[in-house]
Structure 1
């Protein structure tokens, strides 16, 4: 003999099925003996009974079939058999859709059927109304129902969050995905061929005698010209030169300051001591056996800021500066060497 409520679910979803059973039993008042849920002890198939035969008996005349629609449900042959039996016998069904499934995933004999999201608490009132009409209940108050319904929604949140997606893809979706993949591979092959052709063209172009024209062309593809880049570079150089000259220190002290900033080796010798002593009196150095720059003084901070700007610019515009150097072989673009310091800063 069929029980009044048949909870159709996949074995993987037993935890959510248990929450639904507790909701309809404690929140609505459906007696335990009127609920069939194969995954739960006391609600499932009695010991000694044939599984398939007992399941068929329970699908004969239930008052409601609750469908717990999850990815695992649609991948289970037994679940789909239960769904088909409910459809053939025109049983009252209450489909509950569980994320990550969406309305577009409702298919087979349910196509076009109104379903309830498991998080839609108002929809569960329809289930309660139907059971109150069709089943002899140990009726619960509306207050008890509201409390249990809210508790149910809170308890399923972590269960739904852990729900995994489908492990199988419908044939039609697979065919669409395969077609898109083939199209993507075709586009990728065409792009790779185009890139190879452009690289060959670039190599041929770089063999031309007019290096300046090549550099200008390459710079134009970056949205700038070598003249623009060198102009900005000259401004950064001038800022360093101005800050350095404002110190009014001797050549060897300038070399020492640059060496410290760029972490280059430097050793002061005896004949330079007077120059370092004067820089120390001006507050630019902490003199001694091993002199140290005082980068905290006002003029020294200006120098440090100017040096940082040209360093960042040289790194940021490395490719454009290299093109400019190709077009103008006499242009030095390396601000980290003494040749550059002496050519531009001193």
Structure 2
């Protein structure tokens, strides 16, 4: 998942492109894949529901940047993203452009929250320093930053909205109604999340780990449950050393022993850390099923395997859509869905 989620109006393409290219990528060295911005070509996957993509990346991102312009404030979708980020308690950076000031946030959940008016090149440099202090970006050169901040500021100034006539009473009422509707939606879902968390906590006293994992993965339909398993298992596997992830694959889903040309130091390190068992006589590497970090991941993999075996219609549909064998025994499935390379 991306590190930065960029919330913006689709009607501000020059500002959005300059912010992503000049500041994040060129000045601060943020890789393209760490930026989720729907205006970037290739960000939204063809064939996927774009609302699901946006919701998933908003949830998993480390921070949300709001490029707040007059057009942003008129967008119902932008206001919904603002409310969702607040509900999810994300680290947020409200950036005020178009000569807007802090007063425009008074009727939002971000009233009183620190925001930045990008009304001078120095404010862009201040923002970059904030990213670095929070370890969101690596170190960067001040000369490069100064140059790119100047370029970005010029784009911002050149794209400021021309003052428009004040909205009518009817238009203001419509905007308030749209905003209230979006916030009611956010509050309803926030309550559902709180209730579910409370329910799960109560279950922990009476149910085993597999029951809890199964409940946490359950979506509103089979497709959503499948996506929940893929997302959560993928995150867990990518946190492991590839050798450990490969050992899990071979132990659970392959008929063969796991052995490969692996640096002996790595094997000794992972064995000493109790992630692996290595049998040099039989030339086999197996994972430690008692390791606390591996138990939950393996438990979800087994539940996912049971779910796939019990959902033949979903599997048939996914295989038709992806032209892949939907099976945990398929290493291409691990690469495509979990983003994990199995060593063979």
Shorter-chain-normalised TM-score: which range? 0.3 to 0.5
Q: TM-score, normalised by structure 1?
A: 0.45
- Say which one has the larger Rg: 1
Q: TM-score, normalised by structure 2?
A: 0.45
